[in-house]
């Protein structure tokens, strides 16, 4: 039903995305999109690039008078830093490619493998696209998806549950807009203070930290996804979406890996029934997904982000051209981008949820989707009663 293609380099002119398949008549809240972009740039531990870029989205096509037209929507985020890189990154022949050449690949990055795969001599031609700067446009696309989901009472929140060795005790009552005015987007204030101190220590040492973030999707009706086809299983789609984010190395839903450590009596959610309420669960160990479909409980997804591979005390490397020993190249970097990664994951999940949502309820207009949605809810209610 829906798809998008996005493009752009870290120090290029900007980032763009073309989103196809959104129904007509969807209100587009620019402030929602720009707020998500601002939150992506926030969080304690961010580096110098965030002082340069103040991301805001521009809508070039597909929206008129604040609503989608049903035609492709084109989003653009301009790179302010382009002014400092225009000579080097120009698409025209004669660009100053000899400036800022990168030949010392960074361990843990795409530099070495990408340079070999694409036959490049200057590893800048790899890192410019592999950079996590790309996630800015994905956040804009995901925020556009949130515009749609909110029409049906579906909301998403993200928060940090671990940075380095410091783990938080989540307080789900604190999920809300005010959370993103805090230093590390963590609902545990005691853990937050410890996380800030740990980030400062890593920064002073020229090191970086990773962590774990969690996304909670509230208001999803049951039955979204499928157990029938492997490529329509919502948990599989969510895993792919999370693992496609730069630096993410693990994903789990509900108890996740913890389910392998407990007996079945502690791994599953017992089913109860109450007249007027219908079927329900007292726990949500499955993270809102059973048989690869939503079961009416909040969807809970976690992702593990490794430390950023660009270190100001760089790791050992070998020159791509001369093979001589050296230290990895240093680009602008963050000591910790885990809070920002929470926002990226929130919007990656939003797009994936919307894909399955519109497969179930899709139509050419928002009104048609709403009719399909309400008809399904009525049918579910009849069964639940």
pLDDT tens string 91-101: 999 999 999 99
Q: Which helix (H) or strand (E) holds 290?
A: strand 289-290
Is the pLDDT at 25 greater than 70? The verdict is yes
Structurally, the chain folds into a number of domains equal to 1
Residue 326 near residue 319 (C-beta atoms within 8 A):
yes
Rg (CA), the chain: 22
Write out the two tokens for 326. 């050296």
What pLDDT shows up at residue 313? 87
Helix, coil or strand: residue 78? strand
Beta-bridge mates of residue 61: 74
pTM: 0.95
What pLDDT shows up at residue 1? 81
Write out the two tokens for 8. 């752009």
Determine the Cα–Cα distance for residues 242 and 346; give it in Å rounded to an integer. Answer: 9
CATH number for 361? 3.60.150.10
- 306-349 confidence digits (pLDDT tens): 999 888 888 999 999 999 999 998 876 789 999 999 999 999 99
- 238-284 confidence digits (pLDDT tens): 999 999 999 999 999 999 999 999 999 999 999 999 998 999 999 99
Residue 269 near residue 302 (C-beta atoms within 8 A):
no
**Helices 338-361 & 366-384, crossing angle to 10 degrees?**
80
Rounded to an integer, the average pLDDT of 3-12 is 97
Residue 142 near residue 36 (C-beta atoms within 8 A):
yes
Rounded to an integer, the average pLDDT of 203-207 is 92
Q: 221 lies in which domain range?
A: 3-384
What pLDDT shows up at residue 48? 59
């Amino acid at each position: 039903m829906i798809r998008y293609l996005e493009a752009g380099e870290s120090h290029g002119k900007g980032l763009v995305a073309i989103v196809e398949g959104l129904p007509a008549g969807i209100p587009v809240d620019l402030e929602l999109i720009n707020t998500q972009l601002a939150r992506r740039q926030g969080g304690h531990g961010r580096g110098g690039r965030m002082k340069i870029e103040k991301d805001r989205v521009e809508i070039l096509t597909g929206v008129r008078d604040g609503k989608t037209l049903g035609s492709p929507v084109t989003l653009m985020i301009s790179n302010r830093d382009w002014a400092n890189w225009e000579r080097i990154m120009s698409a025209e022949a004669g660009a100053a490619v000899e400036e800022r050449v990168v030949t010392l690949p960074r361990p843990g990055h795409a530099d070495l493998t990408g340079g070999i795969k694409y036959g490049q001599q200057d590893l800048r031609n790899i890192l410019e696209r592999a950079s996590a700067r790309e996630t800015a446009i994905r956040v804009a696309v995901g925020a556009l998806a949130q515009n749609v989901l909110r029409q049906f009472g579906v909301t998403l929140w993200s928060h940090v549950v671990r940075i380095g060795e410091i783990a938080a005790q989540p307080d789900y009552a604190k999920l809300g807009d005010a959370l993103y005015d805090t230093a590390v987007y963590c609902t545990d204030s005691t853990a937050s203070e410890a996380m800030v101190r740990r980030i400062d220590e890593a920064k002073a040492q020229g090191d970086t930290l990773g962590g774990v973030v969690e996304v909670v999707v509230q208001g999803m009706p049951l039955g979204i996804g499928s157990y029938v086809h492997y490529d329509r299983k919502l948990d599989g789609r969510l895993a792919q979406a999370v693992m496609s984010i730069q630096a993410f190395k693990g994903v789990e839903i509900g108890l996740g890996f913890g389910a392998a450590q407990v007996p079945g009596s502690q791994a599953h959610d017992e089913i109860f029934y109450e007249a007027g309420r219908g079927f329900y669960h007292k726990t949500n160990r499955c993270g809102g997904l059973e048989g690869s479909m939503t079961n009416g409980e909040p969807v809970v997804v976690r992702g593990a982000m490794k430390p950023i591979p660009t270190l100001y005390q760089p790791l050992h490397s070998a020159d791509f051209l001369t093979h001589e020993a050296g230290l990895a190249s240093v680009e602008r970097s963050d000591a910790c981008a885990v809070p920002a990664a929470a926002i990226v994951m929130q919007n990656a999940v939003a797009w994936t949820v919307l894909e399955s949502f519109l497969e179930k309820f899709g139509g050419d207009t928002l009104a048609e989707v709403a009719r399909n949605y309400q008809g399904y809810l009525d049918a579910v209610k009849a069964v639940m009663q």
